[in-house]
Amino acid sequence: MLDAINSVVNTINGVVWGWPMIILLLGTHVFLTIRTGFIQRYTISRGIKLSVTKDPEAEGEVSNFAALTTALAATIGTGNIIGVGTAIALGGPGAVLWCWLTGVFGIATKYAESFIAVKYRVKTEDGRMQGGAMYALDRGLNMKWLGMLFAIFAGFASFGIGCATQVNAIATVCNENFGIPPVAVGIVIAILTAIVIFGGIKSISKVCEKLVPFMAIFYVLGCIIILFMNLF
């Protein structure tokens, strides 16, 4: 039974993450780069400045920097460390070039995502902002059913990509290096995560504001140390 399920998953995985998906993703990056007039050229001159500068006239629940750190929280870890490491392990050093290319051209896609999310977000009666891809599909394309499907699938995906992968990595490291049982690590992480999430977007952004800068610094320092260790 498990072998049959595994075979079906592998077959679907081969189709979903095959050449059609690669061409679609990279093609979208290139198309949006051209369509936005190479928005990447404003990354340093305007993008970084706007991300760390407080705009008193902006409408929203959190500051620009809080929104930036919240968005980066999921990319530093699964995206940078595990994703790039896996790409190099499976595809060799040449995979780094494609990581660079997709990263640079992907800036346009990320910009488009953020722009659409802000454009089609809604304000609740109590003054809170709600948005995301499901609201864009509903209000922008008038396809509420597709937005509902996206929300459902995103909920299922969060258990795998967002929870299982990272928690398993933390539990494995703690068990191998400190002898802490994985169950204990899982319980502690579940409690801490619940405290943050149940506080809403303001609570999440406050935690991300404090953690993400240190995560980024430690990530860069770790990469530099590893490079020097392998050079000498």
Q: What is the DSSP string of 166-197?
A: HHHHHHHHHHHHH---HHHHHHHHHHHHHHHH
- pLDDT digits 0-9 by tens, 161-214: 667 777 887 888 888 888 889 889 889 988 988 888 887 777 888 888 888 888
Amino acid at 129: M
Measured CA to CA, the distance from residue 113 to residue 32 in angstroms comes to 11
- pLDDT digits 0-9 by tens, 64-87: 777 777 777 767 766 677 777 778
| Contact call for residues 227 and 96 (beta carbons, < 8 A) | no
- Its pTM stands at 0.74
Measured CA to CA, the distance from residue 144 to residue 136 in angstroms comes to 9
